[in-house]
Amino acid sequence: MTKDGKEVPALSVVGRDKLPIEGSVGNGSEVIVVLELNGYDNEFGKGTSFRIGAIQVIDHVIFESTNPHMDSFEQLDDAEEDII
């Protein structure tokens, strides 16, 4: 939501076929990014800002975590929601 109260649509991430991407987009993926440019002139100054409007993934590399701490977790079933 913007500071003016306007709702910002969720970011669309699609593949070459313009269908939603399954899985995370990892480093090394090639993408086309649509940027929305917005000019501003306020008490803090003048300038231009941008927001990512949409992403099309041309060459999809699946994200794989290299965080060594991720090995500390086990995969949980839906039935195991209240383990704490």
* Residue 8: per-residue pLDDT: 81
Contact 47, 40 (CB under 8 A): yes
What is d(CA 38, CA 41) in angstroms, rounded to the nearest whole number?
A: 10
What pLDDT score was predicted for residue 82?
59
Q: What pLDDT shows up at residue 18?
A: 96
Nearest partner of 36 among 17, 19, 64, 55, judged by Cα: 55
For residue 34, the model assigns a pLDDT of: 96
Residues of the chain with pLDDT under 70: 79-84
Quote the pLDDT of residue 49. 92
Backbone angles phi, psi at 19, to 5 degrees: -100, 150
pLDDT (tens digit per residue) in 29-43: 999 999 999 899 999
**Phi, psi angle pair for 46, to nearest 5°:** -115, 150
